[in-house]
């Protein structure tokens, strides 16, 4: 069912951050820090995939994501909802159900056999596609997925995520250069504020996390020094 209420933007951000904290999707660790897929170290890690195991929270966040997209892009802006392989697939299915739209998904690379497809499901020329992912860091993977969608003749000018890092200054300008508007529910700054309010972590850890979020490169350089 399509959500009919649109909570205030800041309340969506706060509640989304609280829910991620409540299910243990947010991890802060300074010694040793986490090593991300990029090979870079960070004291932060968020696991949005964990949401699929919490049906009540999952349902609320998917309502929030649907509301956010409808408010910021319009209720009739899309013809198809595409999930990015793999984390975006379940969330795309849930949003597509709420918006009563077809769902597809985009592979990270061609299958390598059969039709050698990157798009699974029915996507046709002229369709307006919304790309759904679990999160975005610097936005690079979103560009690759959108390019695959556009190769079908469909258009894709919007991507929506549950979690946006919001610590890399070039993310939104870079996406804009590729004709992509980013929509999100919550960021590291929202999580940090909610973690402080709820005393989810000790003050020293939260201070270290804030130092990292303010300037990730300086934080890494200081550790190496």
Provide, rounded to the nearest whole percent, the portion of the chain with pLDDT above 90.
Answer: 86
Q: Where are the domains of the chain?
A: 9-219
Angle at 23 between CA 216 and CA 192, to 5 degrees: 30
User: Is residue 112 exposed (0-12), middle (13-18) or buried (19+ Cβ within 10 Å)?
Assistant: exposed
- Rounded to the nearest 5°, which phi and psi values hold at 67? -60, -45
> For 120-169, how does the pLDDT look when each residue is reduced to its tens digit (9 = 90+)?
999 999 999 999 999 999 888 999 999 999 999 999 999 999 999 999 99
CB-based contacts of 115-124 (< 8 A; 24+ apart in sequence): 118/148, 118/151, 119/82, 119/148, 119/149, 119/152, 123/80, 123/82, 123/149, 123/152, 123/154, 124/152, 124/153, 124/154
**Digit-coded pLDDT (tens) for 187-207:** 999 999 999 999 999 999 999
Residues 147 and 136 sit within 8 Å (Cβ to Cβ):
no
Triad 193, 196, 198: Cα angle to 5°: 110
Architecture of domain 9-219: 3-Layer(aba) Sandwich (3.40)
Residue that has been written with the tokens 């929202």 in this structure: 190
Banded pLDDT at 113 (limits 50, 70, 90):
low
pTM for this one? 0.94
CA distance 60 to 57: 5
pLDDT in the model for residue 114 = 59
């Amino acid at each position: 069912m399509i959500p009919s209420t649109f909570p205030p933007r800041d309340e969506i951000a706060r509640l989304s951050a609280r829910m991620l904290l409540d299910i243990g999707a947010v991890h802060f660790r300074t010694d040793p820090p986490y090593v991300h897929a990029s090979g870079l170290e960070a004291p932060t890690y968020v696991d949005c995939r964990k949401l699929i195991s919490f049906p009540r929270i999952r349902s609320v966040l998917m309502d929030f994501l649907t509301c956010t997209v409808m408010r910021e892009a319009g209720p009739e802006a899309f013809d198809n909802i595409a999930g990015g392989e793999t984390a975006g697939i379940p969330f795309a299915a849930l949003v597509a159900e709420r918006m009563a739209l077809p769902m597809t998904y985009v592979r990270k690379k061609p299958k390598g056999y059969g039709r050698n497809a990157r798009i699974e499901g029915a996507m046709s020329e002229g369709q307006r596609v919304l790309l759904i992912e679990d999160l975005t860091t610097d936005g690079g993977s979103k560009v690759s997925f959108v390019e695959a969608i556009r190769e079908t003749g469909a258009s894709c000018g919007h991507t929506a995520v549950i979690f946006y890092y919001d610590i890399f200054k070039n993310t939104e300008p870079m996406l804009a250069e590729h004709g992509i508007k980013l929509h999100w529910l919550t960021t590291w700054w929202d999580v940090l504020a909610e973690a402080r309010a709820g005393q989810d972590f000790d003050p020293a850890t939260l201070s270290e996390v804030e130092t990292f979020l303010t300037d990730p490169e300086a934080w890494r350089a200081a550790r190496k020094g």
